[in-house]
Structure 1
Amino acid sequence: MSEEEKQTINEQLKVHYNEKIKEWTKIEKIIRDMEQNQTINTTLLSQMNNCQTTDNLTHNSSSLIECKENILKQFSHALDSVKKDVVRCDRNNCVYSKFDSHGDRNLATIERILLTYVWEYLDDEYTQGMCDIVAPLLALKLEHSIPSCIDTNNQSSLITNENSIELLNEIEISTYILFNLFIALALIQYYRDVICSNHMELTDILKFFNALIQYYRDVICSNHMELTDILKFFNERAEHHNVDDILNLALHFANTVQKLTSKTNDN
């Protein structure tokens, strides 16, 4: 895949993600206004008539969502669930420290990722604990992209630079994509193949899955694979993985998490 093609795909993903955020933030405003008024206002409901969602990641054509009161109820419930789940995130971790502004910013990033996912797959609803999947993914992305991110002074000053703001946005989007892939593939494999045999911890699955995606990244990107293609690809590769390389990569991710944890304990 050429650099130009990669850039095109990245731009498409960025547009898709930002469109989803715009959609659910409008719905959130309607919900908050309704809560403030304590009644369902027909004028506010009429604002939803043109609510449209386009799924460029998994569908070939866009579809118009009929926005009704049940969608408001679904997303309202998801809003409360996500916010409660994010609040209980480990604030003692240096990446999400409650003593520095970057901690609140990173928690807000987790919240946006989760709400965007819930809005995109509203019928699936929110499952408590999804925050525990996104949090280490985001921490790994920050550590990989900004090695000095665990330095609170550097991370706090990072947002003053326009290029750094763009970098944080790219980290957020890539974390969202990785979370989508994890939900689509890793949990399926976890419940079908792993939980009954090896009783592996979810965190181990997370690290191994992250290693799989990283190991086959070029193959996935060059073939423009969608989620169904990735599922098929991994099923076909089930007995042909270079296990040593993938395990070493998973170990690298595990060590990175341990490094972040040790930094937290030292603080």
Structure 2
Amino acid sequence: MTSSVDVTPGTLAVPGARLYYELRGSGPLVAIVGAPMHSAPFAPLADLLAADHSVLTMDPRGHFGSVPDDPDADSSPRLRADDLAHLIRHVDAGPAVVLGSSGGAVTALALLQTHQQLVRTVIAHEPPLAQLLDDHEQQLAANEDTIATYLSGDTIGAVRRFLSNAGLVMPEEVFQQMFGGEKSPDEVTSERFFYLHELRGTADWVPDLDTLRATTARLVIGIGETSAGQFCDRTSRALATELKIEPMMFPGGHGGFMEDPAAFADRLRQVVD
């Protein structure tokens, strides 16, 4: 994907990996992070925010440009939070507003727990926190079934199970466009790392609710306007209830920043300001 603004790419050596990141714009720092989503799908949103912010995006370790020293070492939210902390210190523009999406929202919450001094505001957009749900055992069993399906060699079946567990429904032609066809080596490596070394650790993570309640930084729980009833809608509302925070609605669904980047950027600015 070609960016419409100047992008400064870089790599940073951290314990156990080399991280790929991109920096755009100037002004107060906004860091955008996903897991397993890498930096490219966030580029349209980052371009828009770069009009008045420095915007940091990254590939999480094990995905695309961020290569771990040991490809069979597991990733955890705490480890990814440490990676993001290294990057925020490296670009020397914090404290940051951190937007985390999905698994990246779990990373952002872990960052708030362990590196609070680097954060001004955290927007945790639809964190998949299965352990907060009454049916968490069923949810974790569904993840194990997804992982087993991947290990059986049925990679498309694993994607279908993962999306079904999340309550994400799409037309078959859209599914085939996104997940069918030949995959690049980077996509194959990223997919393998997610199912074997990331999904379980993210889904099993339990936030430290007392620490999050006591934080001096601002915490926003974001939910997509069209996500009602989906897994991450449920987990986000469960977290908001535990923290006595009213969730804030964002345009679109779980991937609203891709569906309508301009509307998402406008809403993000409203929330931050």
* Common fold: TM-score over 0.5: no
Higher strand content, 1 or 2: 2
TM-score (normalizing by structure 2):
0.26
- Structure ranking higher in helix proportion: 1
Please give the TM-score of this superposition, normalised by the length of structure 1: 0.26
